[in-house]
Homo-oligomer: A and B are copies of this chain.
Amino acid sequence: MSVTEMPDKPARAREGKALHKGQQTKAAIIDAALGLATQIGLEGLSIGALAEVTRMSKSGVFAHFGSREELQISVIREYHARFEQDVFYPAMGEPRGLPRLRAMFAHWMQRTSVEIHSGCIYISGAVEFDDRPGPVRDALASSVQTWHAAMKRAIAMAKEEGHIRATADEEQMLFEIHGLILALHYEARFLKNPDSIARANAGFENILQRYGAAPPAAKSLSKPARAAKNAKE
Protein backbone atom coordinates (compact mmCIF):
# COMPACT_ATOMS: atom_id res chain seq x y z
CA MET A 1 0.00 0.00 0.00
CA SER A 2 1.49 3.36 -0.97
CA VAL A 3 1.22 6.43 1.16
CA THR A 4 -0.44 8.32 -1.65
CA GLU A 5 -3.46 6.15 -1.16
CA MET A 6 -3.80 7.15 2.44
CA PRO A 7 -5.79 10.36 2.12
CA ASP A 8 -8.38 8.53 0.06
CA LYS A 9 -9.18 5.89 2.61
CA PRO A 10 -11.37 7.81 5.03
CA ALA A 11 -13.24 9.33 2.08
CA ARG A 12 -13.87 5.90 0.63
CA ALA A 13 -15.01 4.62 4.01
CA ARG A 14 -17.38 7.54 4.33
CA GLU A 15 -18.63 6.86 0.82
CA GLY A 16 -19.16 3.19 1.67
CA LYS A 17 -20.95 4.11 4.87
CA ALA A 18 -23.18 6.57 3.01
CA LEU A 19 -23.93 3.96 0.39
CA HIS A 20 -24.75 1.47 3.11
CA LYS A 21 -26.99 4.01 4.85
CA GLY A 22 -28.65 4.79 1.51
CA GLN A 23 -29.31 1.11 0.90
CA GLN A 24 -30.74 0.73 4.38
CA THR A 25 -33.07 3.66 3.83
CA LYS A 26 -34.13 2.30 0.46
CA ALA A 27 -34.74 -1.13 1.99
CA ALA A 28 -36.83 0.47 4.74
CA ILE A 29 -38.89 2.35 2.16
CA ILE A 30 -39.42 -0.84 0.12
CA ASP A 31 -40.46 -2.67 3.27
CA ALA A 32 -43.05 -0.01 4.07
CA ALA A 33 -44.16 0.04 0.43
CA LEU A 34 -44.65 -3.72 0.41
CA GLY A 35 -46.77 -3.45 3.54
CA LEU A 36 -48.87 -0.75 1.91
CA ALA A 37 -49.15 -2.62 -1.41
CA THR A 38 -50.46 -5.83 0.16
CA GLN A 39 -53.14 -3.76 1.90
CA ILE A 40 -54.18 -1.24 -0.71
CA GLY A 41 -52.70 -2.69 -3.88
CA LEU A 42 -49.72 -1.77 -6.05
CA GLU A 43 -51.83 0.88 -7.71
CA GLY A 44 -52.49 2.51 -4.36
CA LEU A 45 -48.76 3.09 -3.91
CA SER A 46 -47.63 6.64 -4.37
CA ILE A 47 -44.50 8.56 -3.47
CA GLY A 48 -46.74 10.78 -1.32
CA ALA A 49 -48.42 7.97 0.63
CA LEU A 50 -45.05 6.38 1.21
CA ALA A 51 -43.49 9.63 2.41
CA GLU A 52 -46.29 9.83 4.97
CA VAL A 53 -45.82 6.27 6.20
CA THR A 54 -42.02 6.50 6.40
CA ARG A 55 -42.11 10.08 7.75
CA MET A 56 -39.75 11.17 5.01
CA SER A 57 -40.05 14.04 2.58
CA LYS A 58 -41.55 13.28 -0.82
CA SER A 59 -38.30 14.36 -2.46
CA GLY A 60 -36.41 12.03 -0.10
CA VAL A 61 -38.50 9.05 -1.19
CA PHE A 62 -38.40 10.15 -4.81
CA ALA A 63 -34.57 10.30 -4.74
CA HIS A 64 -34.46 6.56 -4.09
CA PHE A 65 -36.74 5.51 -6.93
CA GLY A 66 -37.09 8.25 -9.48
CA SER A 67 -40.61 7.21 -10.43
CA ARG A 68 -43.70 5.53 -9.08
CA GLU A 69 -43.25 2.74 -11.60
CA GLU A 70 -39.71 2.06 -10.35
CA LEU A 71 -41.08 1.96 -6.81
CA GLN A 72 -43.78 -0.55 -7.83
CA ILE A 73 -41.20 -2.74 -9.58
CA SER A 74 -38.92 -2.63 -6.51
CA VAL A 75 -41.85 -3.80 -4.41
CA ILE A 76 -42.53 -6.69 -6.78
CA ARG A 77 -38.84 -7.71 -6.65
CA GLU A 78 -38.88 -7.62 -2.87
CA TYR A 79 -42.11 -9.62 -2.74
CA HIS A 80 -40.58 -12.16 -5.09
CA ALA A 81 -37.43 -12.43 -2.96
CA ARG A 82 -39.51 -13.06 0.16
CA PHE A 83 -41.73 -15.53 -1.67
CA GLU A 84 -38.62 -17.50 -2.72
CA GLN A 85 -37.29 -17.30 0.82
CA ASP A 86 -40.52 -18.63 2.35
CA VAL A 87 -41.73 -21.03 -0.31
CA PHE A 88 -38.99 -22.10 -2.69
CA TYR A 89 -35.73 -22.41 -0.71
CA PRO A 90 -37.08 -24.37 2.30
CA ALA A 91 -38.45 -27.00 -0.12
CA MET A 92 -35.06 -27.40 -1.81
CA GLY A 93 -33.87 -29.34 1.24
CA GLU A 94 -36.38 -32.10 0.45
CA PRO A 95 -35.49 -35.03 -1.81
CA ARG A 96 -36.23 -34.60 -5.54
CA GLY A 97 -39.63 -35.74 -6.68
CA LEU A 98 -42.83 -35.99 -4.70
CA PRO A 99 -41.34 -34.97 -1.30
CA ARG A 100 -40.05 -31.70 -2.81
CA LEU A 101 -43.28 -31.06 -4.74
CA ARG A 102 -45.30 -31.66 -1.59
CA ALA A 103 -43.04 -29.30 0.37
CA MET A 104 -43.36 -26.58 -2.28
CA PHE A 105 -47.15 -26.83 -2.16
CA ALA A 106 -47.15 -26.93 1.65
CA HIS A 107 -45.06 -23.74 1.85
CA TRP A 108 -47.16 -22.08 -0.85
CA MET A 109 -50.27 -22.98 1.15
CA GLN A 110 -48.64 -21.69 4.32
CA ARG A 111 -47.87 -18.36 2.69
CA THR A 112 -51.35 -18.13 1.12
CA SER A 113 -52.90 -18.86 4.52
CA VAL A 114 -51.01 -15.95 6.05
CA GLU A 115 -52.07 -13.79 3.12
CA ILE A 116 -55.74 -14.56 3.78
CA HIS A 117 -55.36 -11.75 6.30
CA SER A 118 -52.81 -9.50 4.66
CA GLY A 119 -53.53 -9.82 0.94
CA CYS A 120 -51.32 -11.11 -1.87
CA ILE A 121 -49.84 -8.92 -4.58
CA TYR A 122 -49.58 -11.82 -7.04
CA ILE A 123 -53.38 -12.04 -6.88
CA SER A 124 -54.43 -8.43 -6.33
CA GLY A 125 -51.70 -7.23 -8.72
CA ALA A 126 -53.00 -9.52 -11.46
CA VAL A 127 -56.44 -7.90 -11.20
CA GLU A 128 -54.92 -4.41 -11.13
CA PHE A 129 -52.59 -4.91 -14.08
CA ASP A 130 -54.35 -7.48 -16.24
CA ASP A 131 -55.42 -4.76 -18.65
CA ARG A 132 -52.44 -2.42 -18.25
CA PRO A 133 -49.47 -3.34 -20.39
CA GLY A 134 -46.14 -1.93 -19.26
CA PRO A 135 -43.07 -2.63 -17.14
CA VAL A 136 -44.99 -3.10 -13.85
CA ARG A 137 -47.24 -5.73 -15.34
CA ASP A 138 -44.25 -7.38 -17.01
CA ALA A 139 -42.31 -7.51 -13.73
CA LEU A 140 -45.30 -9.01 -11.93
CA ALA A 141 -46.07 -11.58 -14.63
CA SER A 142 -42.44 -12.64 -14.97
CA SER A 143 -42.20 -13.02 -11.21
CA VAL A 144 -45.27 -15.29 -11.14
CA GLN A 145 -43.97 -17.22 -14.15
CA THR A 146 -40.60 -17.82 -12.47
CA TRP A 147 -42.41 -19.49 -9.61
CA HIS A 148 -44.67 -21.47 -11.93
CA ALA A 149 -41.59 -22.67 -13.84
CA ALA A 150 -40.07 -23.89 -10.55
CA MET A 151 -43.27 -25.79 -9.77
CA LYS A 152 -43.26 -27.34 -13.24
CA ARG A 153 -39.64 -28.44 -12.77
CA ALA A 154 -40.61 -30.07 -9.48
CA ILE A 155 -43.49 -31.88 -11.21
CA ALA A 156 -41.16 -33.02 -14.00
CA MET A 157 -38.70 -34.37 -11.40
CA ALA A 158 -41.52 -36.26 -9.69
CA LYS A 159 -42.18 -37.89 -13.06
CA GLU A 160 -38.48 -38.68 -13.55
CA GLU A 161 -38.36 -40.23 -10.12
CA GLY A 162 -41.36 -42.37 -10.96
CA HIS A 163 -43.36 -40.79 -8.15
CA ILE A 164 -46.16 -39.72 -10.46
CA ARG A 165 -47.34 -41.08 -13.76
CA ALA A 166 -44.91 -40.50 -16.64
CA THR A 167 -47.79 -39.25 -18.79
CA ALA A 168 -48.73 -36.46 -16.35
CA ASP A 169 -48.77 -33.07 -18.04
CA GLU A 170 -46.84 -30.49 -15.94
CA GLU A 171 -48.81 -27.57 -17.36
CA GLN A 172 -52.15 -29.22 -16.61
CA MET A 173 -51.12 -30.24 -13.11
CA LEU A 174 -49.81 -26.78 -12.32
CA PHE A 175 -52.99 -25.19 -13.68
CA GLU A 176 -55.10 -27.32 -11.35
CA ILE A 177 -52.83 -26.67 -8.35
CA HIS A 178 -52.79 -22.93 -9.06
CA GLY A 179 -56.59 -23.06 -9.12
CA LEU A 180 -56.62 -24.47 -5.58
CA ILE A 181 -54.40 -21.63 -4.33
CA LEU A 182 -56.61 -19.03 -6.04
CA ALA A 183 -59.78 -20.66 -4.69
CA LEU A 184 -58.28 -20.72 -1.20
CA HIS A 185 -57.46 -17.03 -1.35
CA TYR A 186 -60.86 -16.12 -2.80
CA GLU A 187 -63.04 -18.29 -0.60
CA ALA A 188 -61.19 -17.73 2.67
CA ARG A 189 -60.46 -14.02 2.22
CA PHE A 190 -63.56 -12.84 0.40
CA LEU A 191 -66.30 -15.37 1.20
CA LYS A 192 -64.91 -16.18 4.68
CA ASN A 193 -65.50 -19.90 4.18
CA PRO A 194 -63.91 -21.50 7.22
CA ASP A 195 -62.95 -24.81 5.58
CA SER A 196 -61.00 -23.39 2.66
CA ILE A 197 -57.55 -24.50 3.84
CA ALA A 198 -58.76 -28.07 4.35
CA ARG A 199 -60.45 -27.97 0.91
CA ALA A 200 -57.28 -26.81 -0.83
CA ASN A 201 -55.23 -29.52 0.88
CA ALA A 202 -57.82 -32.17 0.00
CA GLY A 203 -57.83 -30.88 -3.58
CA PHE A 204 -54.05 -31.24 -3.79
CA GLU A 205 -54.24 -34.82 -2.53
CA ASN A 206 -56.94 -35.50 -5.13
CA ILE A 207 -54.69 -34.16 -7.88
CA LEU A 208 -51.68 -36.15 -6.68
CA GLN A 209 -53.79 -39.28 -6.43
CA ARG A 210 -55.04 -38.82 -9.96
CA TYR A 211 -51.58 -38.29 -11.41
CA GLY A 212 -49.65 -40.25 -8.86
CA ALA A 213 -51.53 -43.44 -8.19
CA ALA A 214 -50.86 -44.96 -11.58
CA PRO A 215 -53.83 -46.88 -13.03
CA PRO A 216 -53.23 -50.57 -13.89
CA ALA A 217 -52.25 -49.86 -17.50
CA ALA A 218 -49.84 -47.06 -16.63
CA LYS A 219 -48.32 -48.79 -13.60
CA SER A 220 -45.90 -50.80 -15.69
CA LEU A 221 -44.78 -47.55 -17.36
CA SER A 222 -43.63 -46.10 -14.08
CA LYS A 223 -41.80 -49.26 -12.98
CA PRO A 224 -38.70 -48.66 -15.12
CA ALA A 225 -38.44 -45.13 -13.75
CA ARG A 226 -38.69 -46.45 -10.22
CA ALA A 227 -36.13 -49.16 -10.96
CA ALA A 228 -33.78 -46.58 -12.47
CA LYS A 229 -34.14 -44.47 -9.35
CA ASN A 230 -33.41 -47.40 -7.08
CA ALA A 231 -30.36 -48.28 -9.19
CA LYS A 232 -29.03 -44.75 -8.71
CA GLU A 233 -29.37 -44.90 -4.96
Contacts and interface: CB of A to CB of B under 8 A. Distances in A.
A128 B190 CA distance: 10
Interface residues of A, number: 39
Contact of A175 (B127, B172, B187, B210): B187
Given A202-B172, A203-B172, A183 B186 contact: no
Nearest to A141: B191
Interface in A15-58: 39, 41
**Chain copies in the assembly?**
2
Contacts of A195: 171
A196 interface: yes
22 contacts: A41-B127, A123-B127, A124-B127, A126-B190, A141-B192, A144-B191, A145-B191, A171-B195, A171-B199, A172-B203, A175-B180, A175-B183, A175-B187, A175-B196, A175-B199, A175-B203, A176-B206, A178-B179, A178-B183, A179-B179, A179-B183, A182-B186
